[in-house]
């Protein structure tokens, strides 16, 4: 697998070797000679290096800039807030302003935004199983009542 690490950098990772049996055909002499030097199942060592740990996560301040005011190929969207446990509001107000749009009638230019990164969740959820036993089958009266709609 080849991975691009920047404008001029790549890393090549190799998987472990495997074998096939029951195949027919012939190899070129150069391939046969190269196969004689192979020992074990480990593939070649990695070619190229990457920085340990990868790129750091974007700071929270990037998510505070309104989406429409951001520039560049990458935009940062804030995480949707956690919904309340009760609905108390009677009116609706959007959290963020809407984006302007135009319906395309011809071919559009190349996009200016390549990626939108959404902020990670900042809460955790815990749950447990329901200890209440399942409801019993209907009683005879209820069964007769429900039988009216059987076809």
Convert the pLDDT of each residue in 13-63 to its tens digit: 788 888 788 888 888 999 888 888 888 888 777 777 665 555 556 667 888
- Show Cβ contacts of residue 49 under 8 Å, excluding neighbours closer than 6 positions: 11
Instruction: Give the chain's length.
Output: 151
User: What is the reported pLDDT for 151?
Assistant: 66
pLDDT bin (cut points 50, 70, 90) of residue 106 is very high
Instruction: Kindly tell me if the per-residue pLDDT of 9 is higher than 70.
Output: no
In this prediction the pTM is: 0.38
């Amino acid at each position: 697998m080849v991975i691009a690490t920047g404008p001029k950098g790549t890393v090549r990772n190799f998987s472990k070797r495997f074998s096939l049996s029951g195949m027919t055909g012939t190899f070129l002499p150069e391939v046969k000679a190269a196969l004689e030097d192979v020992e074990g199942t480990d593939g070649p060592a990695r070619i190229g290096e990457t920085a340990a740990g990868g790129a750091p996560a974007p700071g929270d301040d990037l998510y505070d800039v309104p989406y429409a005011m951001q520039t560049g190929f990458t935009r940062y969207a804030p995480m949707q807030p956690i919904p309340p446990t009760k609905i108390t509001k009677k009116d609706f107000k959007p959290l963020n302003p809407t984006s302007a749009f135009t319906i395309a009638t011809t071919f559009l230019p190349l996009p200016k935004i390549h990626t939108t990164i959404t902020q990670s969740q900042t809460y955790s959820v815990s749950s447990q199983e329901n200890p209440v036993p399942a409801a019993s089958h209907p009683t005879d009266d209820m069964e007769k009542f429900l039988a009216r709609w059987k076809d």
